[in-house]
Structure 1
Amino acid sequence: MIEGTQIDSDIGAVAAEPEAAARAGARILAEGGNAFDAAAATCMAVPMLYPDKTGIGGYMMSAVVRDGASGKVWS
């Protein structure tokens, strides 16, 4: 198991190794963002807090896909 920090709120939970990154995601949720917004904020905060654990370029890859026929959305 990997140790980390979990921040709970009334509308969701965010887990990340650096507590500050988890709090960034939780704040996005608290201010009306959705789960994808919170995940993106958390993932973007991690390289700032742990640059030594980031690959070359320090990028984050994410995507949201919408099926045109059914309208189903996932990430």
Structure 2
Amino acid sequence: MTHALARGRRGSVGVVFRAPERSWRSLSACSGASAAADRARGCEPEFDRITRVSSAGDLAALGGPHVDYLEPVVRRYVCR
């Protein structure tokens, strides 16, 4: 499956796309370059930082708001 739909408890809907595996170094470099390019254009990047999660328990350490269906998605695709 290349994508999945997720529905939150308050009616939010998310589409989760599975991407090919890439190294953390590559993902981090691409994310940083994308954020820098947005800032250079005078825009605030939508995704200004990324982090790795190895389990649903790692989500508790994330700061800020996140969608309520994130934990079930992580459990399904990361915790296998």
TM-score (norm 2): 0.28
Structure number with higher relative contact order (C-alpha < 8 Å, ≥ 6 residues apart)? 2
- TM-score w.r.t. the length of structure 1 is 0.30
Relative to its length, the structure with more strand (as a share) is 1
